Structure 1
Amino acid sequence: MTWTFTDDVDVFLDAAGPWLTSRPTENTVVLTVTAALRRHGPHSFGDHDPVLGWWRGADGEVAGTLIHTPPHPASLNGLAPEAVAPLMAARRLTRVNADRATAGAVAAHWPGHRVIEENRLYRLGELVPPSPAPGGRARAATAADRDMLLRWYAAFAVDIGSPAGRVERHARAVDERTAEGRLTLWEHDGVPVSMAGISLRIAGTARVAPVYTPPEHRGRGYAAAVTAEVSRAARSAGADEVVLFADLANPTSNGVYTRIGYRPVSDRLVVSAEGAGE
């Protein structure tokens, strides 16, 4: 039983890719992050090289992964309990994003800790469009929406407490998703009032993100409508599974997603060692 680490995404995927794609719902973030690293290089998410790791169990098979792209927390995925102590001995971690059990096992190695976020992973069951539907219609975002989308991306990052991102990263995401038809707007009386994006489809799974409605347009059903539309379109385009995450501290968004047909899969926590830099 051993951990192996690399900064080479191709080496990582050669070893762990089959395990990741056999569980695409639970590994949705790892799959999209590694796709971005392949597409845009090792500094897709920050100035530091990524750390990518996989754990092999007693049978020699991959049985869990780590992916760390600072300034984001290290993401731990599918770890068996016996993999945690060797990981903590091998790497200095101060923040992790992991399922509840793994997050608890990691936190047990810290003299103090605090839970920063609790997020729930949802999988789409039977899609239930909002009823009554809000006024307006969905349309694809275009290059003409770029300035507005950049403002919305920045505001969304603030809302979720995301690590401060460079303007160029938001610009890359907006430009790429707009060009590929992966950003959808809900428009009412000719005014965009909400947006939802969709990830690349990998191993048959697509993830809805981001979903954002400016404060002045909230409470009118626009987020539900635009999320339902991108979810429908993802299925129509061939996705076997459509998933998304919601912050458990936000009952409104969780209620929106369950009403349109999303069902809980698992919870993930972001846990920080006491005194760790944010």
Structure 2
Amino acid sequence: MSWQLTDDVETFIATAGDFLQSRPVENTNLLTIVDTVRRRGRNAYGPGVPIFGWWSTPGGRVAGVLVQTPPHPVIFSQLPPRAVPAAVEALGGHVLPGANLTADAVDGFVAGWRNRTGVRTHIVRRTRLYRLAALTPPPAPPPGRACYAGAGDQGLLEGWLLAFHDEIGERRPDDPRGMIEDRLDHGGVLLWEDGGHPVSMAMRSLPAAGTVRVQIVYTPPVHRGRGYAGAVTVAATREALDAGVRDVVLNTDLANPTSNALYQRLGFRPVEDRVIVEFTT
């Protein structure tokens, strides 16, 4: 049993692609990251050389993976217990800004990494992955309608994207324009308009192994409390279902009870919890 690392996304996909697609709900974030690097190049998320890794059993079966796209934390799939301390050793020659692991594995990896490198660690965010069971729209939707964002909305979307990251305390994307353009290319941004003016947005990932993730649901503070976020989430979810995907998922910040309650009312059910930890010298 051992970890193997590479900086080549095609080698990673050839080896670990079947593992990723075997659990597309739990691996939704990893599938999106790998697809984005494959389509947009190794620096799609920022400068620096990415790391791709897989944990193999003695029989050669892949049973866990990791991906790190600098300057972002390394993100792990669900892992067998033995893979956690072994990951500390395998990544020992790298400088990591942080780690994103399932709640049952985070303490073991973080303690091992702290002991090995001497870094300080602190929890940035606790998240929950939800999967749609049965879509349950609000009984009284807000006024307005959903529509696809277009090139003319680029500036608005960039501003909202940056505001979203600032609000949740997450690093801003290095290339917000490129990120928005990538979403617009596949109709991946829905707006809710009221009175002809955009008041909320929801983005969605490209389908991966029959799964789409609704993400970056944002309503400017001045428009909150009117049901726009729920309405645009329902619209994005319906759009994905109409396209024929098997599962629709989303991630939430567990520190935000409002969004967690909203998504459960809309028919999403918990799948797994994760913890994002930052490392500092």
Counterpart of 1:104 in structure 2: which amino acid?
D
1:1-278 equivalent positions in 2, closer than 5 A: 1-92=1-92, 93=96, 95-109=98-112, 110-111=114-115, 113-166=121-174, 169-273=175-279, 276=280
Partner deviation per Cα, 1:95-120 (whole Å, 9 max, x = no partner): 21010111121123225632211000
Give the deviation of 1:125 after TM superposition.
Answer: 0.8
Q: TM-score, normalised by structure 2?
A: 0.94
Secondary structure of 2:104 counterpart? helix
The question of whether the paired residues in 1 share the 8 Å contact of 2:186 and 2:206 is answered with no
Give the deviation of 1:204 after TM superposition.
Answer: 0.2
Counterpart of 2:213 in structure 1: which amino acid?
R
Give the deviation of 1:94 after TM superposition.
Answer: 5.1
Hey, what's the Cα distance between the residues in 1 that align with 2:83 and 2:232? 40
Counterpart of 1:210 in structure 2: which amino acid?
I
Counterpart of 1:108 in structure 2: which amino acid?
A
Hey, what's the Cα distance between the residues in 1 that align with 2:239 and 2:207? 12
The question of whether the paired residues in 2 share the 8 Å contact of 1:123 and 1:262 is answered with yes
Hey, what's the Cα distance between the residues in 1 that align with 2:202 and 2:127? 18
Counterpart of 1:206 in structure 2: which amino acid?
V
Hey, what's the Cα distance between the residues in 1 that align with 2:197 and 2:24? 36
Hey, what's the Cα distance between the residues in 2 that align with 1:99 and 1:58? 24
Counterpart of 1:99 in structure 2: which amino acid?
T
Hey, what's the Cα distance between the residues in 2 that align with 1:24 and 1:91? 25
The question of whether the paired residues in 1 share the 8 Å contact of 2:87 and 2:109 is answered with no
Secondary structure of 1:108 counterpart? helix
Hey, what's the Cα distance between the residues in 2 that align with 1:226 and 1:95? 32
Hey, what's the Cα distance between the residues in 1 that align with 2:144 and 2:263? 20
Number of aligned residues: 273
The question of whether the paired residues in 2 share the 8 Å contact of 1:24 and 1:203 is answered with yes
Counterpart of 1:120 in structure 2: which amino acid?
R
Query: Where do 5+ consecutive residues of structure 2 fail to align?
Result: none
Secondary structure of 1:12 counterpart? helix
Counterpart of 1:241 in structure 2: which amino acid?
D
Hey, what's the Cα distance between the residues in 1 that align with 2:154 and 2:227? 24
Identity of aligned residues (%): 45
Query: Where do 5+ consecutive residues of structure 1 fail to align?
Result: none
Give the deviation of 1:59 after TM superposition.
Answer: 2.7
Hey, what's the Cα distance between the residues in 1 that align with 2:222 and 2:67? 37
Hey, what's the Cα distance between the residues in 2 that align with 1:70 and 1:220? 38
Hey, what's the Cα distance between the residues in 2 that align with 1:66 and 1:11? 14
The RMSD of aligned alpha carbons is 1.3
Q: TM-score, normalised by structure 1?
A: 0.95
The question of whether the paired residues in 1 share the 8 Å contact of 2:132 and 2:269 is answered with yes
Hey, what's the Cα distance between the residues in 2 that align with 1:214 and 1:34? 30
